[in-house]
Structure 1
């Protein structure tokens, strides 16, 4: 038995899915299965059982869980005790909304990598509504989200920024004629929006529903770049963060539409689980975030 076997056990126990555990730990599923089998052989007991396609902890597995958590935590603290305190190493598992991955996270992660080159960074792009569960399952260490989770007591939230969104379309679209866009002008239009159930795309959908405005079609994309390419080719209208489309607007590839409706801002937060141990890599990330936020507030 070694600590990696216990880490595999904890990940499978939290996710109850060998495939998800393998992706979280960047192992093959066969490696995870071998580690669990080795641990079961060492302890002389069955830790998981499969019923159909579902995985469950056995009673023995439930008994092992708190001991495994303590051993893994102690092993990490022991390793850090003898590491050069000036050199931060380890790994970070980050959950992030695709919108933030497209324009806000890259400069932050670039600076982080320059400061802490020995930290391995893993990004899991997802839907904001999934982040609280991922944090609870410990499949990620931190989340960059567009959802306000301040009411969830188990989460700690730091506000990152408020930004503008803009309606955009192609230069030859019927709405690009200089009119001031009203909500009713979106009736019968094709809307291209980031997929998901939170943040500014959901705010727009809720506003349309509230006012009884029906689009011809709402196409959802997992990539902002895909949306921008489709807009350039005249497929419809979109609402995106202004910072994500400024260069294309300057080049005249797409048009920003004047909007005479309710403000639909982008609001970003970073989320931590209150029970999560702040490892040196995670503590360093939070320190860098707070420093960047402080600089912006001072400007």
Structure 2
């Protein structure tokens, strides 16, 4: 038997010669769904079997992993710690299996995620440098919003991600990749009834923004919440899932928007878009490079980060 201590979880994980067995997989599913019946259905086993697996682990670790609040199933503090540690082990094992399956070809595929703004406007050039320096390096890049990328990291379908939205720091290790200015912009030919000077002066305008779960929308929503308002304060909303489409629609004077300066730099240079100067809106936001906390591949991920910086 091997005892491995995980500092972030403050517990020892006991493992035999093998990695995760069927009972820990049952626990991970039940902890994710917080429902034994649904876990049984997803795993195609009986509910008594789920209960038996959980009881085995509770005896094995000498602690309660779940509790009931009324009819609601919850993880105990120890259960939450175990869930985070086992999820990291499971994800590392998936990557290790992938590497072992491809080592004969001398390829180490890296599954990378990026939010749409990062993937479209910030990552291509540094990624091209990385690929030119390492022509044998195999990378799978997924571009999606922050919420979906975080879930993909949790599920082990991504190794690392570059995101702009908020994330739970207790689950992920991270490095700051860039600090970028987030600005309000409009078409250069847009005419305001009165030139705006504060955020509330923009409320009579149509707002073009990304879908819920995207990093740029989250930044704006948190800023508005701090000023006791929200996106519904604008006279109209156009929700667009593609950042380049938002930029073009803004150039065509279909509304105002809030974007990273790097996204609209060329449009501003061409005179198609202009920044809206507001006295009460100054945001510099971090773009972060993240991976599962305590991953055994942390050193490799940090080397990738350095090459992309």
Deviations 1:35-72 (A, max 9, x none): xxxxxxxxxxxxxxxx9xx7425489x9xxx99x8698
Deviations 1:235-290 (A, max 9, x none): 110111111111111111112211211322232111111354429xx82x631422
Question: 1: distance between equivalents of 2:137 and 2:108?
Answer: 5
Question: 1: distance between equivalents of 2:121 and 2:261?
Answer: 10
- How many residues are treated as equivalent by the alignment? 237
Secondary structure at the aligned position of 2:110 is classed as strand
Other-structure match for 1:154: 171
Question: 1: distance between equivalents of 2:94 and 2:259?
Answer: 46
Is 1:93 aligned to residue 93 of structure 2? no
Other-structure match for 2:291: 272
Question: 2: distance between equivalents of 1:235 and 1:73?
Answer: 49
Which residues of structure 1 form unaligned runs of 5+? 1-12, 17-50, 294-299
- Match runs of 1:76-225 below 5 Å: 76-77=99-100, 80=103, 89-149=107-167, 151-175=168-192, 179-197=195-213, 199-209=215-225, 210-212=227-229, 214-225=233-244
Secondary structure at the aligned position of 2:109 is classed as strand
- Mapped contact 1:170–1:176 kept (Cα < 8 A): no
Question: 2: distance between equivalents of 1:71 and 1:173?
Answer: 52
Shift of 1:75: 7.8
Seen in structure 2, the aligned counterparts of structure 1 residues 232 and 73 have a Cα distance that, compared at 3 Å, is: closer
- Mapped contact 1:204–1:264 kept (Cα < 8 A): no
For the aligned residues, what is the CA RMSD? 3.9
Shift of 1:106: 0.6
- Mapped contact 2:161–2:289 kept (Cα < 8 A): yes
Seen in structure 2, the aligned counterparts of structure 1 residues 176 and 257 have a Cα distance that, compared at 3 Å, is: farther
Question: 2: distance between equivalents of 1:99 and 1:91?
Answer: 23
Question: 2: distance between equivalents of 1:224 and 1:128?
Answer: 14
Question: 2: distance between equivalents of 1:236 and 1:180?
Answer: 14
Seen in structure 2, the aligned counterparts of structure 1 residues 245 and 194 have a Cα distance that, compared at 3 Å, is: same
Question: 2: distance between equivalents of 1:200 and 1:136?
Answer: 22
Secondary structure at the aligned position of 1:235 is classed as coil
Other-structure match for 2:3: none
Question: 2: distance between equivalents of 1:55 and 1:262?
Answer: 47
Which residues of structure 2 form unaligned runs of 5+? 1-25, 30-37, 54-88
Shift of 1:176: 9.3
- TM-score when scaled to structure 2? 0.63
Deviations 1:139-172 (A, max 9, x none): 11111111343x5333111111211122111122
- Match runs of 1:259-298 below 5 Å: 259-278=278-297, 283=300, 286-290=302-306, 293=309
- Mapped contact 1:95–1:144 kept (Cα < 8 A): yes
Other-structure match for 2:59: none
